[in-house]
Amino acid sequence: MSIRTGNEIMNYANVTTPNRRLRRTILSIKNKGGVGGSHLTIATATLLRMSADGAFTTVLVDLDGSTGTTISKMGERNFDGTIREEQSLEHGVPAIDLFDPDQRGRLLPLTQIEDRFLILDGPAASLNTFRALTENLDAGDFAQANADAGRDLVVMIPITPHLASIAAVPDAIAMFGDRASYVVVRSMLGYKPNDYVLWESAAFCDKFGQVVSGRSKAMLAERGGVVLDMPTLTPKVLARAEALKVPFAEALTSPLLALDEQLSVRKWLNAWAGQLDLIRDVLGIDADFAWTVA
């Protein structure tokens, strides 16, 4: 993984830049898999990189190690199609194995990079690892490291209608507290808005009369959090693009994909851009910023 050296990071930490207050760390974490978290971060990074027009850079890091979904879909490749061992920050997907205690500490110096957006894609069960990043440091220390580096921390929590998935919302809020902004992203892949009955319910009790759900949405509202809906991309298109090793940005015009598949990817990215428009202030994006899907 190609990460800037300690000296480069330290040199930058002593420099004040006009855009420092706009820098964001977007941490996507969850309790369980199958919630579309990787597609959420990949789509976000793709849109930011395509729309930047040289104004800023976006770093996407796969926290599932070098064999994770994100690096397999967006990582830089060698001429034979294999994933490059060394990934550049601005164009590739550096990897950190969040489940390796010896690697977790590498998250902290990442907060000091000068790039405008740092997107961290956490795998299934990634939320729990932030309870103890190292022997002495936890989620609160990670949030503080971002604040000390002049970065606002945005915690994105992808969910499905299932209880174990929704439970990640209060867990994350309890861990990061008021040192982060919160965005819950509801998966629409195979689901409809009215499937989120456990999320919408004020108090959902099991057959024993125990309240098992209902506080998550209220807790999010108390923190000023936002709910977005992740649009659906046809599974067939996802499968073919992945098998062909065609990133979403290339899929817009790739001759390896049929025209209807190209248009499906374009529509999907445009739909997600529309959702991101709802959190411009959270992301620190100016009102005149235009999303580019090209």
CA–CA gap between residue 155 and residue 26 (Å, rounded): 6
Residue ranges making up the domain that contains 97: 6-234+272-283
In sequence order, the 6+-apart residues with CB closer than 8 A to the CB of 227 are: 183, 184, 185, 186, 217, 220
Residue 203 has pLDDT above 50, yes or no: yes
Tell me whether residue 26 is in a domain: yes
Please report whether residue 58 resides in a domain: yes
pLDDT over 90 at 283, yes or no:
yes
The pTM (predicted TM-score) of the whole model is 0.88
Rounded percentage of the chain residues whose pLDDT exceeds 70: 90
Determine the Cα angle at 126 with ends 154 and 76, to 5°: 80
The SS3 call for residue 246 is: coil
- List, for residues 225-262, the tens digit of each pLDDT value: 999 999 999 889 999 999 999 999 999 999 999 999 99
Give the CATH number of the domain where residue 10 resides: 3.40.50
293 within domain boundaries = no
Query: How many Å apart are CA 28 and CA 123, to the nearest integer?
Result: 9
Quote the number of domains for the chain: 1
- Position 1 in a domain: no
Q: Could you tell me which residues are beta bridge partners of residue 227?
A: 184
- Residue 23: pLDDT above 90? yes
Q: Give the DSSP letter string of 149-208.
A: TT-EEEEEEEE-SSHHHHTHHHHHHHHHGGGSEEEEEEE-SS--GGG-HHHH-S-EE-TT
Tell me if 254 is assigned to some domain. no
pLDDT tier for residue 288 given thresholds of 50, 70 and 90: confident
Report which secondary-structure segment, H or E, holds 294.
none
Q: What pLDDT score does 37 carry?
A: 66
Residue 33 has pLDDT above 80, yes or no: no
